[in-house]
Amino acid sequence: MTTTRDRADLRAERLDLAGTRQFATPGAGEARRAAITEVTRTWLRELYADAVGERPGLALAAVGSLGRGDSGPLSDLDLVLVHDGRSVATSEVARLADELWYPIWDSGLRLDHSVRSSAECRKVAADDLAAAVGLLDLNLVAGDPDLVAGVRSTVAHDWRAGARKRLPTFLESLRARHHRHGELAQQIEPDLKEAAGGLRDATVLRALTEAWLTDRPRGEVDAALARLLDVRDALHVVTGRGRDRLSLEEHDAVAALLCLEDGDALLTQVSWAARTVAWSLDGTARRAAQSQRARTLRVGPRQPAMSPLGHGLFKHDGEAVLGSTGQVGVDPTLPLRAASVAARARLPIAPKTLQNLAESPEIAQPWDARARDLLTDLLSTGPGLVEVWEGLDQVGLVECWLPEWVAVRSRPQRNAIHRHTVDRHLLETVLQAGTMAREVARPDLLLLGALLHDIGKVAGSRDHSVDGARIADGALRRLGLADEDRELVVLLVREHLTLLDVATRRDLEDPSTLAHVLDVVGHDIETFEMLRALTVADARAAGPKAWTDWRASLLDVLTGRVREALTGEAPLVPPPPRPELDEAALDDVATGRPHVTVAAAPGGWEITVHARDRLGLFADTAGLLAAYGLTVRRARLGTVDGIAVDEWFVESPGGDPPEPLRIVQGLTRLEGGDRGTLASLDRRRRTRTTIPSPAGGARAFVVPAAGTDATVIEVRAQDRPGLLHDLGLALAAQGLGVRSAHVSTHAGQTLDTFYVTEPLGRPLPPARVARAVGAVIDACDAGVDDEVPRGG
């Protein structure tokens, strides 16, 4: 007989068994999980025979993945020692349980265990929804089969009998879990089990069908569940741990094991599988609720309540349904009309109706005006669009209208400012654009631009705006847009990042900045207003990191100047005044002491520094602000009669306003050569864990014609503490003045723009430009190289 010592390698045996099975071969996942389940059951049966032997009224049963037969390589063991409450004394049951549990713990696998009588199983299922759902999967491992069958049958009977009463609470607990864990489909580091659309939801599907309230959907949802289980299994093998969260550092290894191209391909598959599970669960939950309402006792036959919505659609039990299928297969625009009606009523389209709509003939290309108007009507429906569009996408209608959608469907975005996958972000942008429809002359074109603005975020794209413009052009030709309209939408797609880039990274007082924007929009106010609306919609849809008060205020300033140039109207938001001498500061500066004021500004604080102008003042101020924990967003520097008047726009992560006196004291010490005030910044540099930049080394280049009386240098590098200070030192070492600086950081990468001049305030000659660019690159890369990652 196998001894307990021999069985201690169950964990390794399950991993080896998983490692020898192909992950990419069709059907291999099901076979792998069946093999792991069987070897585990065999191991437990032997253990049970050693510890318990043949005893009536006692059995070892499994729930969870082992009970369902879909165990992963390192899935937990969820076991229940069941007894009938009569045949074996309670103390003896407890002793036997210890004999079982300790060898399992020694195996290295995590164990969730319980000891319950058949009556206790029934009671806990009645009192605890989660336990009830788990016990529905109760499956015999060893011992008395009639005992386990009786418990499972009783729990299932009680579940069905109480389903009508328990369903609202059950669905509310489901919504609460989804709120806690979010949408699996929209996460970069998803929880494969608990998030909406995850493995736990597949268990919920089974529980709803066990209640006989609805049928379980098949086909696509089974394939989606198998894909999620394959990813979970690969994650176990890669990490050597029974984890359910797919962390960033494991993406590529898991993708390789599944024979996928890269981590993005992996996340795309996970997202689509999760969306399929979530969509199926939503429909199943509605079927269950409808079935519950149908069981309400009535006198006489129950007539379905059908409220007309228009275009042959009706509201029935919380869904939009077709009243007649007579038009299906005849009118190719029926899906567009039905979707518009349903989205405007904020109703999901019933699954059967979606299947019927999917049988509609394709719309002839190029589309005529009627079909195109129906599409833009659908895009203008508001919040109901997302759920309706998901249904259309699930049955393949969206890719019939826009084949380009397939390449961005469920595609992840690794930029920290984005909350959603590419396709979901496009829809969220459409919703935001719809709220500004009255602000533009052609809302239909704005909505099309919103729908297509990131269509270029496909595998291999180097510039998604340029690639997107090319892809959008082909899509719009198929939609039959007139040449002038098509060219306008293509411009919106190509330039959708331009306005925020200019507003946050260029000097808004420089005439060349305004000239550049005017050239982009062809000196046309209507084009500008549409581009501005798309810019705002895109940023709002991306999330709060993309649409800050600071960014909004800069865009407002730029907008005011463009409108004034194109219409002659004074800007609604007056531009900030140029730096001027503060008479109250003259006395301080005359004695050699800086003068600092702090005022609240949109999204942060405006710090104005008056000091004697000197080389290195920019670097000292940048370093000091960083040492005090402030995030610099923009700096505008000026000199009046030998006195520097520098304005710094900063954010305070802690929310507290900067202390003027502290800044004055720090600048005074720095001017005197005391670098102690930067000690905290130096400590942060030494202790910071450095992650290699995926973009490689730093880059710096001159932006031609971006400044009229200064040379504009743009720097892109990995962010780190004190980077702005080091760049300032590098420019000071070259004897260059910094007229203004515009700082932004996204996903750990800085995009900093400096307007630099020679000591006499002139742009740099070519030779000095080359030296300056080399100096700032060296400053970026040397700072990174000097940092030693902890543990490295």
pLDDT tens-digit series, residues 463-504:
999 999 999 999 999 999 999 999 999 999 999 999 999 998
Q: How far is CA 478 from the centre of its chain?
A: 31
Per-residue pLDDT, 22: 62
Burial of 346 (0-12, 13-18, 19+ CB in 10 A): middle
667 vs 623: CA distance, rounded Å: 10
Task: Please write the tens of the pLDDT for every residue from 703-742.
Answer: 887 777 889 999 988 888 888 889 999 999 999 988 888 8
Return the CATH number at 139: 3.30.460.10
The residue ranking higher by pLDDT, 689 or 478, is: 478
- The last residue of one of the domains, among 111, 136, 161, is 161
Whether residues 255 and 328 fall in one domain: no
- The answer to the question of residue 565 being in a domain is no
Whether residues 749 and 681 fall in one domain: yes
Per-residue pLDDT, 633: 80
Task: Please write the tens of the pLDDT for every residue from 248-303.
Answer: 999 999 999 999 999 999 999 999 999 999 999 998 888 777 766 655 544 445 55
Q: How confident is the model at residue 20 (pLDDT cuts 50, 70, 90)?
A: low
Joined together, the tokens standing for residue 553 give: 């205020």
Whether residues 331 and 394 fall in one domain: yes
Q: What one-letter code names the amino acid at 679?
A: A
Whether residues 277 and 390 fall in one domain: no
Residue 720 contacts residue 784 (beta carbons within 8 Å) = yes
C-alpha closest to that of 720 among 624, 790, 776, 784: 784
The residue ranking higher by pLDDT, 72 or 639, is: 72
778 vs 771: CA distance, rounded Å: 10
DSSP secondary structure letters along 353-406: HHHHHTTSPPPPSS--HHHHHHHHHHHTS-TTHHHHHHHHHHTTHHHHH-TTHH
- The last residue of one of the domains, among 126, 161, 196, is 161
SS3 716: strand
Task: Please write the tens of the pLDDT for every residue from 563-588.
Answer: 999 988 766 555 555 566 777 788 88
636 vs 51: CA distance, rounded Å: 78
648 vs 650: CA distance, rounded Å: 6
C-alpha closest to that of 206 among 95, 280, 100: 280
Per-residue pLDDT, 13: 78
Residue 30 contacts residue 18 (beta carbons within 8 Å) = no
- The answer to the question of residue 567 being in a domain is no
Neighbours of 634 (CB within 10 A): 23
Strand duo 77-83 + 111-117: pairing? parallel
Residue 601 contacts residue 649 (beta carbons within 8 Å) = yes
SS3 140: strand
- The last residue of one of the domains, among 264, 294, 324, is 294
Which element (helix H / strand E) includes 715?
strand 711-718
Residue 664 contacts residue 593 (beta carbons within 8 Å) = yes
Compute, in degrees rounded to 10, the torsion defined by CA atoms 395, 397, 399, 402. -160
- The answer to the question of residue 68 being in a domain is yes
Residue 596's beta-bridge partner residues? 609
Whether residues 207 and 169 fall in one domain: yes
Give the lowest-confidence range in 195-199, 437-441, 454-458, 686-690.
686-690
Whether residues 621 and 716 fall in one domain: yes
- The answer to the question of residue 510 being in a domain is yes
Whether residues 45 and 193 fall in one domain: no
pLDDT at 695 over 60: no
Return the CATH number at 619: 3.30.70.260
User: Best-predicted range by mean pLDDT among 35-49, 388-402, 602-616, 660-674?
Assistant: 388-402
DSSP secondary structure letters along 635-670: EEEEEETTEEEEEEEEE-TT-PPP-HHHHHHHHHHH
pLDDT at 324 over 80: no
The number of residues making up the chain comes to: 792
Q: What one-letter code names the amino acid at 586?
A: L
Return the CATH number at 170: 1.20.120
pLDDT at 212 over 70: no
- The distance in angstroms from the start CA to the end CA of the chain is 49
Joined together, the tokens standing for residue 74 give: 């390192």
Return the CATH number at 413: 1.10.3090
Per-residue pLDDT, 130: 86
- Kindly give the interhelix angle for 464-478 and 443-452, rounded to the nearest 10 degrees: 120
Which element (helix H / strand E) includes 81?
strand 77-83
C-alpha closest to that of 658 among 668, 650, 667, 666: 650
> CA torsion sign, 513 to 515 to 521 to 527?
positive
Whether residues 288 and 338 fall in one domain: no
Q: Which residue do the tokens 């939801």 mark?
A: 201
**In Å, what is the CA distance from 621 to each residue of 206, 604, 618, 772?**
63, 17, 5, 20
150 vs 133: CA distance, rounded Å: 16
- The answer to the question of residue 562 being in a domain is no
Per-residue pLDDT, 497: 95
Whether residues 386 and 526 fall in one domain: yes
Furthest CA-CA distance within the chain: 100
Average pLDDT, the chain: 87
- The answer to the question of residue 50 being in a domain is yes
- The answer to the question of residue 691 being in a domain is yes
> Can you give the residue range of the structural domain that contains 143?
6-161
Number of domains in the chain: 4
Whether residues 274 and 187 fall in one domain: yes
Q: How confident is the model at residue 312 (pLDDT cuts 50, 70, 90)?
A: confident
509 vs 558: CA distance, rounded Å: 9
- The answer to the question of residue 228 being in a domain is yes
85 vs 125: CA distance, rounded Å: 17
Whether residues 176 and 254 fall in one domain: yes
> CA torsion sign, 111 to 112 to 117 to 118?
negative
pLDDT at 4 over 50: no
Give the lowest-confidence range in 44-48, 224-228, 322-326, 505-509.
322-326
**pLDDT > 70 in the chain, percent:** 90
Average confidence (pLDDT) over 200-204: 91
Question: What Rg value do the Cα atoms of the chain yield, rounded?
Answer: 33
Per-residue pLDDT, 786: 39
Whether residues 172 and 135 fall in one domain: no
Average confidence (pLDDT) over 672-677: 88
DSSP character for 764? P
**In Å, what is the CA distance from 197 to each residue of 281, 412, 440, 465?**
8, 16, 38, 31
